[in-house]
Structure 1
Amino acid sequence: MLVRPDVVAEISADRAVDRGGLQCHPLRFKRLRLDVEADDVPRFGAGPAEAAG
């Protein structure tokens, strides 16, 4: 199933990894970003390695 992005959501995440190499903290939804279009956000893997904020 293909997904077409329509809205942008802001999330928080950390880089904690358990001994098995899996991320051990979930992503947390912060808010919808109605001031940003989906086309303004780089696709997964296409942007910088680390977030600016």
Structure 2
Amino acid sequence: MSTWGSREVLGPVLVVPEPVVEVQAGTSIDSGTHRHPLRLGRVRTDVTPEDVPRFGEGARPSAD
């Protein structure tokens, strides 16, 4: 287990992508890490995991 501010490298953990939820995130990123915690938005019962593009695929946010 790693703690906040630790330099310990953690490996990925693969999970089954169910259910689909919205998350809210700020745009502040420092060294590839969100500076503020992500917040759970809502569960999307109208969307299946197959409807969601995989990370790095699909539309990209604009750089306003």
Please, what is the CA RMSD of the aligned residues?
1.9
C-alpha distance in structure 2 between counterparts of 1:42 and 1:6, whole Å? 14
Structure 2, unaligned runs of 5 or more: 1-12
Count of residue pairs the alignment pairs up: 49
C-alpha distance in structure 2 between counterparts of 1:5 and 1:23, whole Å? 21
After superposition, where does 1:31-42 map in structure 2 within 5 Å?
A: 31-42=42-53
TM-score normalized by the length of structure 2: 0.62
Identity %: 45
Q: What does residue 16 of structure 1 align with? A: 28
TM-score normalized by the length of structure 1: 0.72
Shift >4 Å, 4+ stretches: none
Question: Relative contact order, CA 8 A, sep 6+: which one is greater?
Answer: 1
C-alpha distance in structure 1 between counterparts of 2:21 and 2:34, whole Å? 20
